[in-house]
Chains A and B, each alone.
Chain A
Amino acid sequence: MAEAHQESSGSGDFDLSQFYQIFFEEAGENLDLMEQMLLNMDLETADDEELNGIFRCAHSVKGGAATFGFTDVAELTHQMESLLDKLRRHELQPNAMMVDVLLESADISRSLLARHQAGEAGEPPSSADLVRRISELASGATPAVSTPVPAPASAPVAAPAPAVVVAAAETPTVKGERQLEIRMGPLERLDQVDPVKDLFRDIAGLGEIVDLPSDQPNFRVFKVGTSSSNEDLLDLFAFHVAREHVVIRDLGEEADSTPASVTWADDPPPDAPLAPAPGFGFFDGAPGAPGAAKTVASAAAAEPRGTAKAGGKAAAAPLAQPEAATIRVAINKVDQLINLVGELVITQAMLAQNSRALDPAMNQQLLAGLADLDRNTRDLQESVMSIRMIPMSIVFSRFPRMLRDLASKLGKKVDFVTQGEATELDKGLVEKITDPLTHLVRNSCDHGIEMPEDRLAKGKPETGTITLSAAHQGGSIVIEVRDDGRGLNREKILSKARERGLDVSDQMSDADVWQLIFAPGFSTADVVTDVSGRGVGMDVVKKNIAALNGTVEIDSAEGYGMRVSVRLPLTLAIMDGMSVGVGDEVYILPLSSVVESFQVKPDAVSTVGQGSQLVKVRDEYMPVIELEKVFQVPRFDSEKSSDIMVVVEAEGSRVALLVDELLGQQQVVVKNLETNYRKVPNVSGATILGDGKVALILDTSALVRRSRH
């Protein structure tokens, strides 16, 4: 990594912190949207579109949280995503319990985010219990917390369990040692998990493990005191017992400081609602205890909302201050503002024009006022424009940190190169392009770039390169994500597509095959990681970009890498333009493509084959394009003729445009002609000049192509 950021997520890296706010806003929107969709979803008839939509919300939040290093949020949303993934693949049927748990998770995610936003102040709301319940639901089991409370006395151990879990959920997890109840089963042989106990004996610092009596014959239950994460424990146990057969439950602090665990293990109370009674005295001093007691007295099934509220309350206070930092305004309001200011500028120009004839001595005050108006309108226009326009660097600078973390997590070596950071893009576009780009860059790193040893074996440099570039091209902005990794495997994609029942044939062109990876749920990754591989990325990318009227193209060579080009229309991109006059008309050339201009002597132009004209510029011959002819400009003044050449460069070649005069340079707002009209050849868009007239912006790429034919 060229630019490595060493800061931890909490300390607020200077560059990154400006994106936190964007992320918090986006995540909040995604969570709101997900909540809305969950609430509107009809469990019986939930269609793929809805489930995919909910899934994408969780996926986006997870992606962002992982980028910014909010691991608790990423972990929780990862679990949500796993559950939702099974739902959308129809491996599980959605039920009310899942919706409850997901809504609750959204609430907790929100409070976790609010806590990060407030600078990590206060205790984090506990998500461990939720993570467990989601994974249980995802594995098809029914979590204990949702069991209706009035359990028969014949199931003594199962009945009080909700009470203990509730207590855990109410209490913020304290870092350090945790008390866990671990259930393993169903097991073929009970002694199968004995090696797990040996693990705790053999690995120093892992913690303690104690046998607890099991309520079912083929289950083993342990009480474990440890400071390791659930994930680490599961990894350790995986050698002896399958992951899905292990259920870890956080007993929380109280459970440890009171004989609660003993109570429910050795001396089961006869009736569930009475369960906390013996322990009530012990809970008195503990924070959150009254809440626990109250909830248990009511139905445990109603509990999830209670937990959520507790989490929300804790977050409410620190959330208060950052709220005033920004306001979110609908794009169309900004557009309206821009248009109105444009009108104002034109009116102002007209007033200035008319006032020139006035006698300065007689109208001193009026003229002074007009001068003020001039200055103020210009400032106003600049400020209004700046609301929408931001350079691509704002998007690009999100990535070095993300890639660094990602690369080190995957054990890969990656260099990140950016080009064209100064390209200015409409804020609306920037906001919408960020998510797709994040997915593309993650994909490149996860799937594209090979492990260092594989790269060396293939004779490539050990360090892979991911390039992100932005450029104006023709009437579009093209953003490219390139990597020099393994590229796409045609056979693998085709066989995956057949597996999924897509209509494919071996005769399909490469381009058509690459397009297959945009199908929802399509992934060629062998392992689903929390980075990527669920096949959600590309379908989101395609959907988001299509919503912007853009296109995605893939270019790939197996073994050499792949390139994803995102082409977006310049709906409101700002551009530095050079205005040129031809006859009575004004045309705008993109300044970025203008190389030079000069007055031409008639003898410098020579013809080839009685048609094409060439001009010699410093030992180089280049084709001449007469704008007057291309645009059929009517000539009223036969005296005047074009004698100025403007050399433009596009797509790697140069042509000389013949014009009458150079009028000046200015920033222009690119307007789309196709909104109300159709595509005009050789024109990429239009803009409005200071006098309110429309001027066409030339498509230099098209002109260069024209000269080749």
Chain B
Amino acid sequence: MDVMEKTDEVASVGAREYLTFRLDQEEYGIDILKVQEIRGYERPTRLANAPEFIKGVVNLRGTIVPIVDMRLKFKCVKAEYNDFTVVIILNLRSRIVGIVVDSVSDVMELPADNIKAAPEIDSVIDSSAVMGLGSVGERMLILLDIEKLMSGLDMGLVSGEE
């Protein structure tokens, strides 16, 4: 039921543009309007007692921005840091967060018809943060509600009191 509502919401606004990125073999899409910029990976300053997937904080032109490694968060097999590792800087409602991904593919417009509700599956991703599955030719795109995903308590980006 929950998922159905969400697809309705997507359908009502019509086609949206998504930035797609790769984590291991999977392809994900996030609302392009939440993306501030894309930059190369630089070693962040480690934060003590933080979850493993929070790599630390970096200086983004004077702003302190936490960096989350999505590959660690989604329990990918390997998470390497090389010259091709990319950080997507997200501008969410109240905060700026960077996420580490394997690579950024492209920006694509996805009509609402091409988005199907995701079936209930057991996954490391909170199912309420999945907006649906988009089909582009033979590829399957996992559309994430990145705002919701990042503000979840398990992300450890916000403290419990908030």
Contact = CB atoms under 8 A, between A and B. Distances in A.
Interface of A: 335, 338-340, 342-343, 585, 630-633, 671-673, 675-683, 686, 688, 692-696
B47 interface: yes
10 contacts: A340-B62, A673-B64, A675-B63, A678-B158, A678-B162, A680-B49, A686-B45, A694-B45, A694-B56, A695-B45
B59 A677 contact: no
A71 B11 CA distance: 65
B54 to A, nearest CB: 8
Given A675-B95, A692-B59, A630 B48 contact: yes
Contacts of B45: 585, 686, 693-696
Interface in B148-162: 156-159, 162
A385 to B, nearest CB: 12
A694 B57 contact: yes
Contacts of A673: 57, 64
B62 A688 contact: yes
Interface in B56-72: 56-59, 61-66
A686 B48 contact: no
* Count class of interface residues, chain B: 20 to 34
Contacts of A694: 44-45, 56-59, 64
Contacts of B158: 678
B96 interface: yes
What secondary structure prevails in chain B residues at the interface with A?
loop
B86 interface: no
A681 to B, nearest CB: 6
A479 to B, nearest CB: 25
Given A585-B46, A694-B57, A694-B58, A677 B63 contact: no
Contacts of B61: 339-340, 342-343
A191 B2 CA distance: 84
A695 B159 CA distance: 21
Contacts of A692: 59
Given A630-B48, A631-B48, A632-B49, A678 B63 contact: no
Contacts of A630: 48
Interface string B70-109: 0000000000000000000000000111000000000000
Contacts of B59: 688, 692-694
Given A342-B61, A672-B64, A675-B64, 12 more contacts: A343-B61, A633-B48, A675-B95, A676-B63, A677-B66, A678-B158, A680-B49, A681-B48, A686-B57, A693-B45, A694-B57, A694-B58
A353 to B, nearest CB: 16
Nearest to A693: B45
A695 B48 CA distance: 12
Nearest to A343: B61
Given A677-B57, A686-B57, A671 B64 contact: yes
Nearest to B49: A681
Contacts of A693: 45, 59
